[in-house]
A and B are shown apart, each in its own frame.
Chain A
Amino acid sequence: MNTPKERIGVYICHCGTNISAVVDVEDVAQWAANKLEHKGVVIARDHKFMCSSLGQELVENDIKELGLTRVVVAACSPHLHEKTFRTACERAGLNPYLCELVSIREQVSWVHSDKVVATQKSKAIVSSGVERLIYHEALEQLSVPINPATLVVGGGIAGIQATLELADAGSPVYLVEREPSIGGHMAQFDKTFPTLDCSACILTPKMVDVGIHPNITLLTWAEVEQVNGYVGNFDVTVRQKARKVITDLCTGCGICIEKCPKNVLDDIYEVGMNYRKAVYTPFPQAVPNYPVMDLDNCIYFDTGKCKACEKFCPTNAIDFEQEDEMLKFQVGNIILATGFDLFDARKMSNYGYGRLENVFNSLEFERMCNASGPTEGEIVLRDGVTTPKAVGIIHCVGSRDKSHNAYCSSICCMQSLKFAHLVEERTGAHVYNFYIDIRTPGKGYDEFYNRIVEEGTHFVRGKVAEVTNAARQPDEKKKLIIQVEDTLIGKQRRIPVDMVILSAGLEPRHDAKEVAKLFGISCSADGWYIEKHPKLDPVATMTDGVYIAGCVQGPKDIPASIAQGAAAAARVQGKIQQGEMLMEPIRASIIEEQCSGCRICNDLCPYNAILYHDATMTSEINAALCQGCGTCIAACPAGAVIGTSYSNEQVLAQIEGLLMDVSV
């Protein structure tokens, strides 16, 4: 037998008892020392916590003292600690890419329970790591320059915060918003919990800052159409929808809006509770303050007559000929803050929303409370005049419900408590809150709950079964009856009220999937965007250079959205400051002598990284464009394309290792 070339160290982690409870780690270590000796294993150890500083030192010392040339660690998923052990090797003077982390926790001890079988599988996995490692090469990380500009998508509070943080740090930002104005859902609210400060009062200063900041290019009434490239150098195409208003000439005086004869039900900002014009700004404090024209509803675009807006505009800023424009620019990083949609309460027909007129959803009620809303802040029934004497607020509508959304929408409890307070304060009505659990985990939140209890709100523990107008008793006539089991009593109750507010849950945007695809990131089963790590990296995604902030990552309230906006900006700013970024050296290249110039690989590359040289009649890979997927390597009929980290030799050796007979 040949003497092995390499000197390999093998380390098996107990992970406390996470691994050792199911896998006989000592046996695996001993087996590796004996049975893999001919492959070059010179030492095999087990340790309680390999990722601890003691565990890392063990590796470092062995490298120095035993002259290890390769290191295999069998522990958790490489997505968690690969970097830890590579860095440890580097400290001991070994090239970090000569270290391999194989997973015996996520792939063995956590998913199997038979100890014998689990130990055998662990041995096979260790053997595959050793086999593969022999073919590893010493590699250097690649470096790419970072374009200092950033694209922020979505102008709600999370996007606004991220934009301002970056701009204040001196970096250029493009903020793209689909609606005519930034502001998002927060602009629709009246009061914010738990402090009850006015939403507009705290939001509008930030909006104004965005509008005038020299580092911010604000693109509203615009949507991202295309994204190409990779971290550091994204090419972005944005469709600037035609406003039919020349922004350079418009002064925002509002005469066009005043003169427009067409009333349109505003489904977005006013959630169908009020009307706007066909040329409009969604609300008075809109940023920017230029109106847009709604072509579906404009009389001129329908009949060819009208043009009242044009006639009365004092600065000739109306331009019916204006077309959509495609804007192209480059950015180094992207932050997605596209927010949420409200759960459509019509899907729960037992609550009668859309059928019973005095059932409102939470956004409708927010608009009703808002001083600039349809009732100027007065809480009244759908008839617009009657003040309710009793109001029921139903929690968890569409949330914590496997028929709709299984998750808790996190904001509804606090929002419902806020509603209870507003109803009480403005109408003096009896308020009933129907809840499954009251969830108030936030600073000052439970204190707010106590305050509402003190104010005399009735709390009934039970998920409401139905809201009906079918009276059984005389005192139920002309009322909405809320039928519920009061679970603390164990009896069914029917509570007559005048108004019902449904605290509808938050849902991913209806087009969240398409947007995710556009930016190359993925959605969870619920449809929220997946963060890189649920605890350690909540604002990054699996795609380098694309970050997420606010409700797009999952339901959250205003403070949490702002925190995430700022966090995402900090992550991006850090990258910008470094000026360049180091990337994993997973790349393909072509051995020119072996390339026959068949060009099969050329069309396979989605990044156009493979160029064909007519002169040499061979192909060549541009390392800066290559992302390392390896499709070309697998397809090359001449075996001329080779790849680092996932070479044929490495994978084939790994397969041999996995299928090694470990029973002896």
Chain B
Amino acid sequence: MTEKSNFEPTIIGFTCNWCSYRAADLAGIARIQYPANIRLVRLMCSGRLDPTFVLKAFAEGADGVMITGCHPGECHYLEQNYKALRRYLLLRRTLVAMGIEAERLHLAWASAAEGIQLAREITEMVERVRVLGPLNWHLNGDQVQITHDATAELEVVA
């Protein structure tokens, strides 16, 4: 059995306006409880996810990042979630190269009807990151600074 630590991670979750954000609304309406460690950002589509956003979240102190979007084949904008998938796969590799555990970034599909599933994904994510421990990436380096207009330099991963 795994020991549960007292560490409370902070997770940033990116949601799609059409599916996963509504799934979060649905979880609320149905009063499905999940850990408060997650904080959500609404985008119009998971395809809008700029890899910089993820790096920014880690740099500002997030211990984990979740990307959520419509199930493959169900994108509101036809196929943009596939682009999110591609970026996610690349990002995982990039993170490992930067010394961050790949498990700190997680991709989950959730349709507007899947409040329960989204809550479960969030709960599992929080537990995973809890086991990994704090990231503390922002503490040990002034070298990582992502400013509002420095996105261009980090675009290479797209």
> When A and B assemble into the complex, do they touch directly, with CB atoms less than 8 Å apart?
yes
Task: Report the minimal beta-carbon distance from B127 to chain A, rounded to whole angstroms.
Answer: 16
The listed residue (B12, B28, B53, B78) touching A111 by CB distance below 8 A is: B28
The reply on B85 being an interface residue by CB < 8 A is: no
The listed residue (B10, B79, B151) touching A648 by CB distance below 8 A is: B151
When the two chains form their complex, are residues B28 and A106 in contact, meaning their CB atoms are under 8 A apart? yes
Annotate A507-542 by CB proximity to B: 1 below 8 A, 0 otherwise: 000000000010010111100001000000000001
The reply on A124 being an interface residue by CB < 8 A is: yes
Segment touching B, from A173-181, A216-224, A256-264, A624-632: A624-632
The reply on A38 being an interface residue by CB < 8 A is: no
The listed residue (B76, B78, B114, B155) touching A542 by CB distance below 8 A is: B76
CA distance A604 to B19 in the complex (A): 20
Task: Report the minimal beta-carbon distance from A632 to chain B, rounded to whole angstroms.
Answer: 9
The reply on B73 being an interface residue by CB < 8 A is: yes
The reply on B50 being an interface residue by CB < 8 A is: yes
When the two chains form their complex, are residues B45 and A648 in contact, meaning their CB atoms are under 8 A apart? no
Segment touching B, from A46-54, A496-504, A652-660: A652-660
Number of B residues, CB within 8 Å of A: 59
CA distance A618 to B35 in the complex (A): 47
Q: Which chain A residues lie closer than 8 Å to B43 at the CB level? A: 630, 646, 651
The reply on A117 being an interface residue by CB < 8 A is: yes
The listed residue (A106, A522, A629) touching B29 by CB distance below 8 A is: A106
Q: Which chain B residues lie closer than 8 Å to A633 at the CB level? A: 48, 50
The reply on A110 being an interface residue by CB < 8 A is: yes
The reply on A267 being an interface residue by CB < 8 A is: no
Best-buried of A105, A654, A655 by chain B (most CB within 10 Å): A655
The listed residue (A522, A530, A630) touching B44 by CB distance below 8 A is: A630
Q: Which chain B residues lie closer than 8 Å to A604 at the CB level? A: 47, 80, 83
When the two chains form their complex, are residues A637 and B155 in contact, meaning their CB atoms are under 8 A apart? yes
Task: Report the minimal beta-carbon distance from B142 to chain A, rounded to whole angstroms.
Answer: 16
User: Knowing A111-B27, A638-B152 touch, does A631 contact B47 (C-beta < 8 A)?
Assistant: yes
User: Knowing A606-B78, A631-B47, A652-B53 touch, does A110 contact B28 (C-beta < 8 A)?
Assistant: yes
CA distance A654 to B146 in the complex (A): 13
The listed residue (B28, B53, B57, B78) touching A659 by CB distance below 8 A is: B57
The reply on A107 being an interface residue by CB < 8 A is: yes
Task: Report the minimal beta-carbon distance from B50 to chain A, rounded to whole angstroms.
Answer: 4
Q: Which chain B residues lie closer than 8 Å to A522 at the CB level? A: 18-19, 70, 74, 111-113
Q: Which chain B residues lie closer than 8 Å to A635 at the CB level? A: 83, 158
When the two chains form their complex, are residues B56 and A542 in contact, meaning their CB atoms are under 8 A apart? no
Task: Report the minimal beta-carbon distance from A567 to chain B, rounded to whole angstroms.
Answer: 21
Annotate A113-152 by CB proximity to B: 1 below 8 A, 0 otherwise: 1100110110011001000000000000000000000000
Q: Which chain A residues lie closer than 8 Å to B22 at the CB level? A: 79, 542
Best-buried of B44, B53, B56, B119 by chain A (most CB within 10 Å): B44
Task: Report the minimal beta-carbon distance from A660 to chain B, rounded to whole angstroms.
Answer: 9
When the two chains form their complex, are residues B52 and A106 in contact, meaning their CB atoms are under 8 A apart? no
When the two chains form their complex, are residues B112 and A530 in contact, meaning their CB atoms are under 8 A apart? yes
CA distance A524 to B23 in the complex (A): 11
The listed residue (A113, A586, A634, A658) touching B12 by CB distance below 8 A is: A658
Q: Which chain A residues lie closer than 8 Å to B106 at the CB level? A: none
The listed residue (A111, A627, A655) touching B119 by CB distance below 8 A is: A111
Q: Which chain A residues lie closer than 8 Å to B24 at the CB level? A: 106-107
User: Knowing A121-B39, A125-B39, A525-B114 touch, does A630 contact B53 (C-beta < 8 A)?
Assistant: no
Number of A residues, CB within 8 Å of B: 58
Task: Report the minimal beta-carbon distance from B78 to chain A, rounded to whole angstroms.
Answer: 4
The listed residue (B27, B42, B48, B114) touching A634 by CB distance below 8 A is: B48
When the two chains form their complex, are residues A606 and B151 in contact, meaning their CB atoms are under 8 A apart? no
Annotate B105-149 by CB proximity to A: 1 below 8 A, 0 otherwise: 000000111100001000000000000000000000000001011
Q: Which residues of chain B from 31 to 54 have a CB within 8 Å of any chain A CB?
A: 31-36, 39-45, 47-53
The reply on A649 being an interface residue by CB < 8 A is: yes
CA distance A525 to B19 in the complex (A): 13
When the two chains form their complex, are residues B45 and A630 in contact, meaning their CB atoms are under 8 A apart? yes
Which of chain B's residues has its CB closest to A114's CB? B36
Which of chain B's residues has its CB closest to A121's CB? B36
CA distance A164 to B37 in the complex (A): 53
Q: Which chain A residues lie closer than 8 Å to B51 at the CB level? A: 634
When the two chains form their complex, are residues A630 and B47 in contact, meaning their CB atoms are under 8 A apart? yes
Best-buried of B33, B60, B87 by chain A (most CB within 10 Å): B60
User: Knowing A79-B22, A630-B48 touch, does A520 contact B57 (C-beta < 8 A)?
Assistant: no
When the two chains form their complex, are residues B148 and A653 in contact, meaning their CB atoms are under 8 A apart? yes
Q: Which chain B residues lie closer than 8 Å to A311 at the CB level? A: none
Q: Which residues of chain A from 352 to 409 have a CB within 8 Å of any chain B CB?
A: none
CA distance A507 to B49 in the complex (A): 37
Q: Which chain B residues lie closer than 8 Å to A451 at the CB level? A: none
The reply on A226 being an interface residue by CB < 8 A is: no
When the two chains form their complex, are residues A659 and B158 in contact, meaning their CB atoms are under 8 A apart? no
Q: Which chain A residues lie closer than 8 Å to B60 at the CB level? A: 655-656, 659
The reply on A543 being an interface residue by CB < 8 A is: yes
The reply on B7 being an interface residue by CB < 8 A is: no
Best-buried of B10, B73, B113, B119 by chain A (most CB within 10 Å): B113
Which of chain A's residues has its CB closest to B33's CB? A111
- A contact residues vs B (CB 8 Å cutoff): 77-79, 103, 105-108, 110-114, 117-118, 120-121, 124-125, 128, 517, 520, 522-525, 530, 542-543, 586, 604, 606-607, 627-631, 633-639, 643, 645-646, 648-649, 651-656, 658-659
14 A-B pairs with CB atoms under 8 Å apart are A79-B21, A111-B33, A112-B35, A522-B18, A542-B22, A586-B44, A630-B44, A634-B47, A634-B87, A639-B152, A652-B52, A652-B148, A655-B62, A659-B60
Q: Which 5 A-B pairs have the closest CB atoms?
A: A106-B28, A630-B48, A631-B47, A629-B77, A110-B28
